[in-house]
Amino acid sequence: MNNDNLVEQGMNTAADINNNYSSAPAGDDLLDFDDDPLSATGVSRKSLVIFFLIDTSGSMKGKKMGELNTVMEELIPEIRKVGEADTEVKVAVLTFSTDVRWMYSAPIPIEEFEWARLRASGVTSLGAALKELNARMSRNGFLNSPSLSFAPVIFLMTDGYPSDDYKAGLKELQANSWYKFGLKAALGIGSEANDNVLAEFTGSADTVVHAYSGGQLAQMIKIIAVTSSQIGSKSMTLSDDTSHELGEEDVFAAKQKLLGQQIQDLVGKAEADDVPFDTGW
């Protein structure tokens, strides 16, 4: 498994880079006579798009939606910090009920992002949402940054069983390389949400969590969104043990595994905190 595959499969426009930009030093004459050693622009940053897929079906109405809107507003400043010097973080929000809608027509840099409060009504068209995500998750679509990108973070939140053929949507999405290398996590809200469906989406049960109360909902959204954007926006230290030289197979999907571990740790801790003081003795 290497990136050459990746380029061929989904990111077909990699070759465009070489057409659009000549590599130095071929065209130094194109530069103005501007040689001030202090006139630097910011270092070229890698980009990371965080996709939020949010269920806005009728069953989300009321407290769930209120809680979700509030926590998302509060979350933005927290995610702002994670990029640091290395990564430009952008956010795209896709809502799905009877219809599928993007909150904004393109991913917005986190520094400028403002949460538009969502309303709930209609049914749960998860399959349509996954198809729409697949359509936009390409070099020609939402992932068109000229510089390097990290694989996207994709965070699904839903409170019900899909009302359409989600398997068809998922099948299309699974052929998308950005999805394959992306960091996937999902949150089931309330007792109707099916964790198996969510695990099909993320590819592993570790990155699926469930919230049953309002307080939990806020906590879980924060845990998943902050952890996944932290992991997604940084390169990772590949190895801590120096007993053998690393190969491709050692590092494959290392970030997704780490995400699973950290989410489970944090969720475990959060649940332990939830126990009333007089129980568990």
- Residue 20 or 279: the one with the smaller Cβ distance to other proteins is 20
Q: Residue 236 Cβ, how far from other proteins at the closest point, in Å?
A: 7
Q: Residue 166 Cβ, how far from other proteins at the closest point, in Å?
A: 26
Residue type, position 71, single letter: V
Angstrom distance (rounded) from CA 58 to CA 119: 9
- The answer to whether 100 touches 81, Cβ cutoff 8 Å, is no
How do 183-189 and 87-96 pair as beta strands? unpaired
Angstrom distance (rounded) from CA 32 to CA 30: 6
- Residue 22 or 213: the one with the smaller Cβ distance to other proteins is 22
Q: Residue 124 Cβ, how far from other proteins at the closest point, in Å?
A: 30
- Residue 199 or 254: the one with the smaller Cβ distance to other proteins is 254
As a three-state string, the secondary structure of 31-57 is: CCCCCCCCCCCCCCCEEEEEEEEEECC
Q: Hey, how many other C-beta atoms are within 10 angstroms of the C-beta on 264?
A: 14
Q: Residue 248 Cβ, how far from other proteins at the closest point, in Å?
A: 5
- Residue 57 or 207: the one with the smaller Cβ distance to other proteins is 207
Q: For residue 158, what are its two tokens?
A: 């839903």
Give the HSE-up count for residue 91: Cα atoms under 13 Å, Cβ half-sphere: 27
Angstrom distance (rounded) from CA 236 to CA 74: 27
Q: Residue 133 Cβ, how far from other proteins at the closest point, in Å?
A: 16
Q: Residue 79 Cβ, how far from other proteins at the closest point, in Å?
A: 12
- Residue 18 or 105: the one with the smaller Cβ distance to other proteins is 18
- Residue 1 or 168: the one with the smaller Cβ distance to other proteins is 1
Binding site for other proteins (CB under 8 A): 1-3, 6-7, 11, 13-14, 17-18, 20-25, 27-28, 30-31, 34-38, 40-44, 46, 77, 80, 84-86, 111, 139, 146-151, 177-178, 181, 234-246, 248, 250-255, 265, 269
Q: Hey, how many other C-beta atoms are within 10 angstroms of the C-beta on 120?
A: 20
